[in-house]
Amino acid sequence: MLISGAYEKAKLYIESHSREKEALEKIRKVVEPGPCITISRQTGAAAGEISDLLIDILKSNAKNSKMEWAIFDKNLIEKVIQDHNLPEKLSSYLTEEKHSFLNSIMNELFGIHPSPLRLVYKTTRTILQLAQIGNCIIVGRGSNIILRNLDNTYHIRIIAPLKKRIEQVRKYYNFSEEEAKKFIESEDQKRKNYVKHYFHKDIDDPSLYDIVINTERYTLEETAKILSHAIMIKLKKFFKEVT
């Protein structure tokens, strides 16, 4: 069956793993979760394209290559809303951006929307649930920090020089150079603030990741191959023999 779009793939992933879980519960077997990869990225560093390439390599080399894999980035927001019965209008509010404490309290008091802390909590629960299933890539939202103590995880940081990232964003959004630069600075700051505010960490701290890779030095395909090889060595029990 031909599937189009990341959200459709995510839905298929959830449905297939749910069926597997139900079947295994019937025969009372416990199955170890599959590998879970987290990706933190600078804006415009081509994390989306790399994630697509990476998931194809990992799936083809997995010991159980029939299991569905999925990438949870923007569609993770939809999953959180679906899991916790939140109204769809909140999707624009569930971003990697901190909000003032006063606004949070006032909004919750007057029933405008739940506080950011509650939304981060729900997002964190969803990330943990996805990691307990495995066979997925989770992009952003402090997922590397949330899952740092799980044995089935591998944490990646993707970076690139500003000039290269401006080129990427210009092509993708049809921005001018100045618009692309402002967009990158704004998005990077939001992500930095989110991790600092809710997890008290510096997103640029290399010790938070298993590997930090600069996409200027390699093609996207080379980047995906390097990352997949590192992942398969670290999480070798999930993959075919790596040489």
Give residue limits of the domains in the chain: 38-238
What phi and psi values does residue 38 have, to the nearest 5 degrees?
A: -110, 145
What pLDDT, on the 0 to 100 scale, is given for residue 206?
Answer: 95
For residues 76 and 6, give the distance between their C-alpha atoms in angstroms, rounded to a whole number: 10
For residues 87 and 79, give the distance between their C-alpha atoms in angstroms, rounded to a whole number: 12
With a CB cutoff of 8 Å and minimum separation 6, the contacts of 52 are 71
Q: What angle do CA 95, 98, 103 make, to 5 degrees?
A: 110
- Sheet strands (E) in the chain: 36-41, 70-72, 136-139, 153-159, 211-214
With 0-12 CB in 10 A as exposed, 13-18 as middle and 19+ as buried, what is 158? buried
Domain formed by 38-238, architecture: 3-Layer(aba) Sandwich (3.40)
What pLDDT, on the 0 to 100 scale, is given for residue 217?
Answer: 84
Contact between 40 and 144 (Cβ < 8 Å): yes
Grouping H, G, I as helix, E, B as strand and the rest as coil, residue 156 is strand
What pLDDT, on the 0 to 100 scale, is given for residue 32?
Answer: 73
Chunk the chain into consecutive blocks of 10 residues (it has 243) and report each block's average pLDDT, rounded to whole numbers: 50 58 50 86 91 91 80 70 56 50 45 60 82 88 90 94 92 90 92 89 94 92 94 89 66
pTM: 0.74
Cα-to-chain-centroid distance, residue 101: 26
CB atoms within 10 A of CB 96: 17
The side-by-side arrangement of strands in the sheet containing 36-41 is: 70-72, 136-139, 36-41, 153-159, 211-214
